[in-house]
A and B are shown apart, each in its own frame.
Chain A
């Protein structure tokens, strides 16, 4: 029974060594490519450092100051938070076009509940967060249970949520002074404090904390590994015992919740509650994610990369403005960066080991 097949006997004398290949002297480029493959957030980090150095050389202390640096952080605050939500969804090989709409609706709910129904601001915020969570749940349920493509689901939800936002708010803005007088808690994330020349807002602190927490969760918890596994190969994840529906729904819910937090931070940033604000958040968040090196096909990349991606956009925007360039140059360069980032992603994927 256990006699090997006769043709296999011929193998007996063959050397035991596994095929070894002469790699030749590994060039610097190959080593670099390997390093990038292992640590995908390295690319945006390098681009970020380089762009800071270049703008620093061109502009001197005007750019290279704690004030300007922290100004960039404040300017990317909202997009940075939304991009964290977007990262989670894109890691599962999905996309969330409704992030901006959920953010605005949540901020409107926070404002309207506080001013129209007179609930305490803390409760108003809580209802706003709940609203984001619910929108995320609907997205997740449609994607996981109804098996609809995320692009279609969130394209539809974008319109639905945005229309609800205008209908519910009656296109009415709650003015900044009014909020500051009666419900300053809504503007909490806009409050500033200074450390030397650096100016921080609580919104910026929240963004950084969020990035660090998500980086930890994605890397060091089972749920985080499951998010990657679902994005990498959903069927394989399912067969190896991951409850993929649960993972997907939780990802979209968390995304909705983070967007609601972004809505709260948005009130702090612009002062007022406006149903027409934040219209570009979905495109800007996808931009940050792509420049940050997360693969749109899912399963690859890190949330740290997204953070660097958001900062790169912020550095370009402020740097070019200080140089006195036309704002269109910013968009042009960001377009180039997007295409370059995806090209680099393809190049990195080519390498094995």
Chain B
């Protein structure tokens, strides 16, 4: 099977620091791939290179087997790759509906949309409400509420809903449960599985080993700027994964070849 998203030989240097050192990456269709690694291993840079936020110095990114050249997150989004950043990338003073449609607003049909470029508020609100309901975020009473008035979990929910609503090829989630409580984390994990069941593959970056081992199909272990190995959570213990990513243990050579 061909990977849907593939990075080959990716290199990214910041001055003297090499954040990505000839790194490979593969995401198979329909899977949840977790990316784990110690702080400073270069996970974020890898994800940014795949989502267009960073332009790699060397190497290629392929989507559906075709090389792509993303110059900005907008390019990646247009290609169907949605990212939920750890910072969530939302404008606090604007409403939930405004935030969900930021950068891809719907205009009214007819002359008001064409000549006055008027936004179709009611359609956007309707779609936003629908998407939030799908994710069981009914606790949000008012879709015109400013995002700054939401709790951390609710904000995360809105950001994930935005990605799920528009991501057609790949969804990237950067630490989606880091700021959440027990129940909210559970809901986000359910949501991740829900998105996968629709056939959309997910890249999940997380430090939470129990969460990673629960939902991931494969685990990409990142160390010192490159892929150390890819492991199957069913055949490995959490302690193995932690040992690999911190360098306490070397993986079998056959794993590294994967």
User: Which A residues form the contact surface with B (CB < 8 A)?
Assistant: 1-5, 7-8, 11, 14, 18, 216, 220-223, 225-226, 228-229, 232-233, 235-243, 299-300, 352-353
Contacts and interface: CB of A to CB of B under 8 A. Distances in A.
A300 B92 CA distance: 10
Contact of A300 (B88, B93, B116, B233): B93
Given A11-B186, A229-B98, A239-B73, 8 more contacts: A5-B214, A14-B183, A18-B139, A232-B93, A240-B90, A240-B162, A243-B74, A300-B93
A242 B116 CA distance: 20
B103 interface: yes
B88 A221 contact: no
Contacts of A236: 87-91
A240 B104 CA distance: 9
26 contacts: A1-B214, A1-B215, A4-B186, A8-B186, A14-B183, A18-B139, A221-B116, A221-B118, A221-B119, A222-B105, A225-B102, A228-B94, A232-B93, A233-B90, A236-B90, A236-B91, A239-B73, A239-B87, A240-B90, A240-B99, A241-B73, A241-B74, A241-B103, A241-B104, A300-B93, A353-B145
B149 A221 contact: no
A223 B73 CA distance: 19
Contacts of A216: 116
Contact of A11 (B88, B162, B183, B193): B183
Given A11-B183, A220-B118, A240 B148 contact: no
B66 interface: no
B98 A240 contact: no
Given A220-B119, A221-B118, A353-B149, A242 B103 contact: yes
Contact of A2 (B93, B148, B193): B193
6 tightest A-B CB contacts, nearest first: A241-B103, A239-B89, A222-B105, A232-B91, A236-B89, A240-B102
A48 B93 CA distance: 26
Given A1-B234, A5-B210, A352 B91 contact: no
Interface in B97-115: 98-99, 102-105, 107
Contacts of B145: 353
A264 to B, nearest CB: 25
B119 A228 contact: no
Nearest to A18: B139
B182 interface: yes
A221 B117 CA distance: 6
Contacts of A241: 73-74, 77, 102-104
Contacts of B233: 1
A134 B245 CA distance: 55
Interface string B209-236: 0100011000000000000000001100
B106 to A, nearest CB: 9
